Amino acid sequence: MAHALQFYIDGEWVAPSGQATLDVIDPSTEEPFATIALGTEADVDRAAAAARAAFPAFSQTSREERLALMRRLLEAYKARYDDVAKVLSQEMGAPLAFAHRSQAAMGTAHLAKTIEALENFAFEELRGTTLISREPIGVVGMITPWNWPINQIMCKVAPALAAGCTMVLKPSEIAPLNAIIFAEAMHDAGVPKGVFNLVNGDGPTVGEAIARHPQVDMVSFTGSTRAGILVAKAAADTVKRVHQELGGKSANIVLDDADLDRAVKLGVEDCMSNSGQSCNAPTRLFVPAAMHDRAVAVAKATVEPLKVGPASAEGTRLGPVVSEVQYTKIQRLIETGIKEGADLVAGGLGRPEGLNRGYYVKPTVFANVTDDMTIAREEIFGPVIAILPYQTDEEAVARANDTPYGLAAYVQSGSLERARKIAAQMRAGNVYINYPAWDAGAPFGGYKQSGNGREYADFGIHEFLEIKGTVGYGAA
């Protein structure tokens, strides 16, 4: 990759200020396949200065000018679509078909939906004689994760462009190559100098420098709750806006009038998708106690045929998890689940048979899980699901909400009215009834320690705007 050892700053590919590099590891093989440069505080200074210098002009561009840029970006991204899918598969372990069908597709979907939202977005309104204006917040620092990389890049960059902001992006150093391709697409689309800047690096160095930088007006972070707290603390001294999409421990409540076999099968498959590495995965499956044993049998039958293997292998349903650190954490939590007395129904410790190298985790199902168990409390971020029996609807809701997280919740019922009643009680930013189609126009974000603010469509644009009231604007 031509620009792997460079950063994109002020409209050019430039050499880093330091000499540090990092190998990018293929989690299917545990072998390095690329090397990136690691940035320093000086690189962040340079990128922030470029973004600051570009802001006055870009913030004053018209809606039509920004729409034209975003439409050019959409075409440039589509031209690199296959490249994005291929590199995502290799750097974060997504099966190639899944990377092409889902991972890379998120970039197209979010950009198209943001363009649609911008076309009719109300930046001004008159309330009596007061003009309410929504203006770009300024320079935005963006710190994105490795699990849905291009999804989160586009969820930040697209609405920031729509709002008229300039930006500095630090992608995950674990899966950074898709961001380099994205930067190349931005350049090909003719993004003005300084509007978009890319600096690779780690969280403690580049991420923290972005979060506390005095020339950065807002930081938008997606990642773990632990890291999100550190970002917020680093940002506090400059009183900048902090937008966060953090961890989750999402509950999936199957009511007693649901099609149990379908509800459990789809819930387990949803949890295992992306090798369990989704912040909104339905990892806690609540089922009526009288149906517990049947649910366990369905869950077991669902995971056993799932083929775990290299991301590039035909027929692979679950690729490896992203890194040795993640693999070790997941193994520790599986072991803890066994020690704390949960029933291991499928999967368990170690790699699947025949896979001796690579960060492969067995699709794992625990049953008869209780709320005090570690696997019911901590975010595992791997292909592990916990089945929890309950007695009444009220009990299920109370237990589902008994978590510091609040990103997503799921409800399955044969009665839409009943499902809506349960959904209204869930303390989560998203509730999904009966496994609906994904909606790029629905607001995405969490309650409680799952973050603050929302992404997607017009909700995302709002996050990058300040509100100004000009009193007397409409006076005679």
Long-range own/partner contacts, residues 292-298 (CB < 8 A, 24 or more apart): 292/367, 292/368, 292/387, 292/389, 294/260, 294/261, 295/254, 295/260, 295/264, 295/387, 296/343, 296/345, 296/365, 296/367, 296/387, 298/260, 298/261, 298/264, 298/265, 298/268
Amino acid in the structure at residue 110: H
> How far, in Å, are 177, 224, 364 from residue 161 at the CA level?
22, 25, 41
> Is 271 a residue of the active site?
no
Amino acid in the structure at residue 128: G
Q: Which residue in the block uniquely carries the two structure tokens 């995405």?
A: 444
Amino acid in the structure at residue 286: F
Collapsed DSSP state (helix, strand, coil) of residue 253: strand
H or E element at residue 387: strand 384-390
> Is 245 a residue of the active site?
yes
Integer Cα distance of 366 and 328 in angstroms: 18
| List 91, 173, 184, 245, catalytic entry | 245
DSSP state of 273: G
Integer Cα distance of 128 and 136 in angstroms: 23
Short-list 104, 23, 27, CA closest to 275: 27
| List 155, 165, 271, 279, catalytic entry | 279
H or E element at residue 440: none
> How far, in Å, are 193, 225, 375 from residue 284 at the CA level?
47, 18, 9
Active site positions, annotated: 245, 279
